[in-house]
A and B are shown apart, each in its own frame.
Chain A
Amino acid sequence: MASRRDFIKISALGIGGMALGAGALKLLAEDSTFDPFSPITQFSRIPTYCEVCFWKCAGWTYTDDKGKIVKVIGNDEDPHCNGRLCPRGTGGIGMYYDEDRLLTPLVRVSENGKQTFRQASWEEALGIVAENLKKIADKYGPESLALFKHGSSGHYFEQLVKAYGSGNIVSPSYAQCRGPREVGWKATFGTTVGSPEPTDIRDTRCLVLIGSHIGENMHNGQVQEMSEAIDRGADIITVDPRYSTAASKSRHWLPIKPATDLALLLAWIHVIINEELYDKGYVEQYTFGFDRLKQHVRRMTPEWAYGITGIQPKAIRETARLMGSAAPSVIVHPGRHVTWYGDDTQRSRAIAILNALLGSWGRRGGFYFDESVRLPEFPIPEFPEPKWDWRATLDGRFPLAATGISNAMIEASIPKEGKDSRIKGWFVSGTNLPLTIPNRPQLEEAIQALDFMVVVDTMPMEVTGYADVVLPECTYFERYDELRTSPHREPYLALRMPAAAPKGDSKPAWWIAKQIAEKLGLGSYFPYEDFKEVLDWQLKQVGSSLEEMQKAGVKQFERRSPLYLKENEPFTFRTSTGKIELYSKEFEQYGFAPLPNYTPHPEPPDNYYRLNYGRAPMHTFSRTSNNPNLTDLMDENDLWVNPKVARIWGMKNGQEVWLRNQDGVISSFPIKVRITERIRWDSVYMVHGFGHNNKKLSRAFGKGASDSELITNPVPDPIMGGTGMRGTFVTFLLEEPIKAVES
C-alpha cells in the first residue's frame, strides 16, 4: 500500500537499540573501558585536517592518557568548519580503527595456477615497483605511466611521476565531477569556481540550488551557512526532481522533469532580461554580449520552458523575480557534481550567465573573491619535459579540458585495431576506480592490457584487487601532510600531524613516494628525511613555524585585496575581452555554441526509469562505506521508488530487487526498495558509493547496489571531456537473476 505518511528511520537503529551484527560489535567492545559519566578522562589534542572529503575541515584529534585516539572535533578557528565537523568527520576515526585496513604491502603471485596476493616486505614491494617502472620507461618511455589520484596523497605521487618523466596525471574529480562547471565559469568570468566554492551564503538573501543537495552533501561550511540563511529568513529556491532535504527547507521547490534544467535556466534568463530585473550598472560595466544574449533568449519564455520542464510559468516568473529583488545578494549555486548529460559545460555557462546578470559575482551575499596563502614550494630540481602528455590522449577532442581526462586515459591504455596502447602502467592513489569511473567493462579491459599497476590505499578497495602491487598507506591520523592552503574569505593555513604511529606496516604517502624515487635514482626530488622539514621550511617563509602550527592547528593571514568589488570599481576579468563574457568568444573560437541552448536528452523507454544518484550525509564516495562508525549510521543504500511505480510492479517497502540497465548490465547485488513520495514516477534514486564487491571489505561487501556499475553509457561533454552520467535507465528484476557462479 502506498502510504501518504512514510515513517522511516534513516539512521542508527534507534528503536530498541538493536545490534547490527556481532562482527561490528566486537570492535569497540574489546577495548571498552566503560564509565557512563566520565567516559574519557585525560586528553591531549593534536591538530589535523579531515581527509574524509575534500572540504578538509581542520580539527583536533584527541588521545587519552594511554595515547589512544578517542575522538576528533572541529577547530573553532577554522572557517571551513567553525569548530564543528560533519558526521563523516566525527566518524573519521573509524578509518583509523577499521580492522579491514591494509597493513602490509601485497604482491600478486600465482599459486597452483591461481592468482593471489602474498604479503611482502616494503623492500621487496618497492623493489618490484621500481623495477617495473624502469622497464616501462626503457621500453616505451616514461610518458607511458599514468597516475590516477584523489586526495592529499596524490601530491607526492604527482611529484614522483613528474620526476620520472610523465605528465599523464588525472583526477577523476575533473571528468567525473566538477570539470564542466570550472570550464563554464572560466569562459564566463575568467576564473574557475574552485573549492571550497566562494558562495557567500552567510549573507545571501536568495540561494538557488539547481541539482545541488546541500544537507545531503555535507560540504560543511556551506551546510552551516545555509542553516544560518534559513534562520535569517533568506529565500531558498531548489530545483530538483527529487524532494531533497534542501527542497524541504526551501520557499520554492521546483520539481523539474529530469534532464531539462537548461530550459529552465534559459527561461529564467529570459524573464530577468525582459522584465529588466538584471543589475543594469553591473551588466553595462562588466559584461560582454548582452544584446546577443537578449536576442538569443527572446523566444525562451516561461511558457516554452513549461512544455519541457513541467514547471508552471507562474512559478518560473515568481522565482526569477525573487532572484531579481534579492540581487546582487543572490547565489545561483554552481553545484559540484555536475557531469549529468554531456552538455554540462553549457548548463554551467547558463548558471554563470544568470549570476552575471544578477551581478552576484564579487558581491556581498553572492560570490566573494576568495584568497589563499601563497606558500613557496620546497626547492627541488626542475622536472624533465615529457615528450607528450595527457593532451595527446584526447586525440583532438575536448579542446577546453584543463587537465587530464580519466576516461581518455583509460582508452589510451587499450590497444586498438592492431595499434599498441600508449599507456602501459598505472599508479593509483586514493581513488577507487571501479566505483568511480563509468563504463566498468572498458575500465577492466584497460587494466587487463597494462604491463604494470600499483595501488596505494588505506583500505582494500576494489581497485586494489586489480593491482600487481598494493602499498598500504596510513590514515590521516598517522601522518604529516602538506599544509592545507585552500582559499576562503580570509587566507588560512591548516596543519595535519600524526596523533598515533602508523598501524601495522602502513606508511605515509610522502615516505612511499620518496622510497620509490630513490630506487629510481630520483631521490633529489625528495630532498628531506622527514616531511616535517618541508613544512617547517615552508612555514618559516611565511613568518610562521611548525612549532607554532602544532599548537594552533590553523593560522589566519592578511588578505591582499578586497573581498568584494567596490561600487563601479574598474575591474578586468581574465577573459579575452576583459569582461564577463555572456557571449563566449572562446567557445565561438573553438566552434562551440557561444550562448547556451537547450537540447533534449533521451527519455527512459517503457518500464525503465532514470537512475539518479547522490550523496548521504554520512558517507563520502565509496571510501566510507566500510567505516565502522559510519556504517553504523547507514550500512547500505536503498532505491527510492515512487508509490505509483511500486504499485505497478507490486513492490513492497524493504523488498530486495536487482536492477538491469538499458545495456543489459545487472547489478551485482540486490538493493532494498524504499517507497517514497519524495521521488518522481519517471526516475529512481540511490546514494552513490555502495555495492562493494570486495569481500575484504567485511562490512561493505554486498551491501546495496552500485550506481557506477550500472552507468555504462556515459555521454562525453565535447567541450571538456566530462562524462554525463544521468542518462542511465534501469528496470527492476524482482527475482534473483541467474548468474554464472563465482569461484
Chain B
Amino acid sequence: MRYAMAIDTKKCVGCSDCVVACQIENNVPVGYCRDWVTETVHGSYPNLELELRSERCNHCDNAPCVRCCPTGASYIAEGGIVLVEGDKCIGCGACIESCPYDARFSHPEGYVDKCTFCIHRVRKGQEPACVSACPTHCMYFGDLDDPASDISRVLKNRKYKVLAPEAGTKPQVYYLV
C-alpha cells in the first residue's frame, strides 16, 4: 500500500477550502496550517501563465525529517504516511529545518505538527478532509499500489510533476499539469 495525492493544477482555483477544511477537521489552532496555497506567475502582461497549487507535507518515500529526528517521534506509518508522535516530540525543530517543503511547524503546545493525510479518516475509508471539501474536485487521494484507484489512473493518463525533485526526497504529492 502506498498512499499518495495528486492535485490538478488545471482545475485548482486557489480558493483555500482545503486549508480551512483541514484546520477545522484537525483542530489546527487559528494562525497555523497544515496545508496552504501558492500562486506562481510566469511571463509579462499579456503573455502570462498562472499556477495555483495546494501544498502540504509530501509524505516522502525518502523523508529527511524522519531520518533526522533524534527521538523517533517522526515515523512512517501505514501506506507511507509520515507522522509525528506528539508525546515523543521534544520540539527540537530539526525536522522543520530538514524539510525542503516547509511543511512542518511548531504547535503552540510544544510539539511539531504537520499534515497526516487525515489518517484518522483514511482508516475509516474516508478521503482526507481537503480532498473531500475541494469544490473543484481537483484533488485525488488513494493507493498507488492499486492500479484501479483514481490516483493510479490519473497519474497514468496525465502529465505530472513533483515539487523540489532535486532534493531527492521522492515526494508523494503529485501535481497534474
Interface residues, chain A, with chain B CB atoms under 8 Å away: 4-21, 24-25, 27-29, 32-34, 36-40, 70-71, 73, 81, 84-87, 90-91, 93, 215-216, 218, 220, 223-224, 227-228, 230-231, 243, 245, 248-249, 253, 255, 617-618, 628-630, 632-634, 642-643, 676-681
Quote the shortest CB–CB distance from B99 to chain A (angstroms): 10
Task: Give the distance in Å from the alpha carbon of A29 to the alpha carbon of B133 in the complex.
Answer: 24
Does the CB pair B46–A16 fall under 8 Å? Answer: no
Task: Give the distance in Å from the alpha carbon of A401 to the alpha carbon of B126 in the complex.
Answer: 50
Does the CB pair B26–A36 fall under 8 Å? Answer: yes
Quote the shortest CB–CB distance from A197 to chain B (angstroms): 17
Task: Give the distance in Å from the alpha carbon of A10 to the alpha carbon of B16 in the complex.
Answer: 9
Task: Give the distance in Å from the alpha carbon of A34 to the alpha carbon of B109 in the complex.
Answer: 9
Task: Give the distance in Å from the alpha carbon of A81 to the alpha carbon of B105 in the complex.
Answer: 33
The 0/1 profile, CB within 8 Å of A marked 1, for residues 10-50 of chain B is: 11011111011101111101111111111111111110111
Query: Looking at the complex, which of B59-67, B112-120, B161-169 is the stretch in contact with chain A?
Result: B112-120
Residues A90 and B24 in contact in the complex (CB < 8 Å), given A5-B41, A14-B36: yes
B residues within 8 A CB of A33?
A: 27
Task: Give the distance in Å from the alpha carbon of A618 to the alpha carbon of B134 in the complex.
Answer: 13
Quote the shortest CB–CB distance from B111 to chain A (angstroms): 9
Does the CB pair B40–A6 fall under 8 Å? Answer: yes
B residues within 8 A CB of A679?
A: 45
Residues A16 and B96 in contact in the complex (CB < 8 Å), given A91-B20, A678-B48: yes
A residues within 8 A CB of B15?
A: 86-87, 215, 218, 223, 617-618
B residues within 8 A CB of A216?
A: 13
Does the CB pair B30–A632 fall under 8 Å? Answer: yes
A residues within 8 A CB of B133?
A: 73, 84-85, 90
A residues within 8 A CB of B14?
A: 10-11, 215, 245, 617
Does the CB pair B25–A86 fall under 8 Å? Answer: no
Quote the shortest CB–CB distance from A644 to chain B (angstroms): 9
Does the CB pair B24–A629 fall under 8 Å? Answer: yes
| Contact among A20, A93, A248, A633 with B19 in the assembled complex (CB-CB below 8 Å) | A633
Task: Give the distance in Å from the alpha carbon of A230 to the alpha carbon of B104 in the complex.
Answer: 33
Nearest CB in chain A to that of B48: its residue: A243
Asked if B159 is an interface residue, CB under 8 A from chain A, the answer is no
Nearest CB in chain B to that of A25: its residue: B31
Does the CB pair A220–B135 fall under 8 Å? Answer: yes
Does the CB pair A4–B44 fall under 8 Å? Answer: yes
A residues within 8 A CB of B27?
A: 28, 32-34, 39-40
B residues within 8 A CB of A7?
A: 38-40
| Contact among B17, B104, B106 with A90 in the assembled complex (CB-CB below 8 Å) | B17
Does the CB pair A39–B25 fall under 8 Å? Answer: yes
Does the CB pair B24–A227 fall under 8 Å? Answer: no
Nearest CB in chain A to that of B136: its residue: A227
Task: Give the distance in Å from the alpha carbon of A18 to the alpha carbon of B30 in the complex.
Answer: 10
Nearest CB in chain A to that of B50: its residue: A248
Residues A19 and B16 in contact in the complex (CB < 8 Å), given A84-B135, A679-B45: no
The 0/1 profile, CB within 8 Å of A marked 1, for residues 95-137 of chain B is: 0100000101110110001001001100000000000111111
A residues within 8 A CB of B17?
A: 84-87, 90, 617
Quote the shortest CB–CB distance from A58 to chain B (angstroms): 14
Asked if B80 is an interface residue, CB under 8 A from chain A, the answer is no
Quote the shortest CB–CB distance from B132 to chain A (angstroms): 8
Quote the shortest CB–CB distance from A242 to chain B (angstroms): 10
B residues within 8 A CB of A223?
A: 13, 15, 135-136
- Besides the known contacts A16-B96, A678-B41, 7 further A-B residue pairs in the complex with CB atoms under 8 A apart: A34-B27, A39-B25, A85-B17, A87-B16, A87-B17, A90-B133, A93-B24
Task: Give the distance in Å from the alpha carbon of A680 to the alpha carbon of B45 in the complex.
Answer: 7
Does the CB pair A227–B11 fall under 8 Å? Answer: yes
Nearest CB in chain A to that of B31: its residue: A20
A residues within 8 A CB of B48?
A: 243, 248, 677-678
Nearest CB in chain A to that of B104: its residue: A17
A residues within 8 A CB of B49?
A: 248
| Top-7 shortest CB links A-B | A17-B105, A14-B36, A215-B13, A617-B15, A248-B50, A20-B31, A227-B136
| Contact among A9, A18, A70, A84 with B37 in the assembled complex (CB-CB below 8 Å) | A9
| Contact among A20, A248, A618, A642 with B16 in the assembled complex (CB-CB below 8 Å) | A618
Residues A36 and B116 in contact in the complex (CB < 8 Å), given A11-B37, A678-B50: yes
| Contact among B33, B120, B136 with A12 in the assembled complex (CB-CB below 8 Å) | B33
Nearest CB in chain B to that of A629: its residue: B20
Task: Give the distance in Å from the alpha carbon of A16 to the alpha carbon of B138 in the complex.
Answer: 25
A–B pairs, 7, beta carbons within 8 Å? A7-B40, A8-B39, A12-B37, A24-B31, A39-B120, A85-B17, A632-B31
Nearest CB in chain B to that of A5: its residue: B42
Nearest CB in chain B to that of A81: its residue: B135
| Contact among A10, A255, A633 with B20 in the assembled complex (CB-CB below 8 Å) | A633
Task: Give the distance in Å from the alpha carbon of A731 to the alpha carbon of B36 in the complex.
Answer: 33
Does the CB pair B33–A17 fall under 8 Å? Answer: yes
Nearest CB in chain A to that of B86: its residue: A36
B residues within 8 A CB of A218?
A: 15, 135
B residues within 8 A CB of A12?
A: 16, 19, 33, 35-37
Task: Give the distance in Å from the alpha carbon of A680 to the alpha carbon of B44 in the complex.
Answer: 10
Nearest CB in chain A to that of B109: its residue: A34
A residues within 8 A CB of B84?
A: 36
A residues within 8 A CB of B16?
A: 10-12, 87, 617-618, 633-634
Does the CB pair A84–B134 fall under 8 Å? Answer: yes
A residues within 8 A CB of B19?
A: 11-12, 87, 633
Task: Give the distance in Å from the alpha carbon of A634 to the alpha carbon of B13 in the complex.
Answer: 15
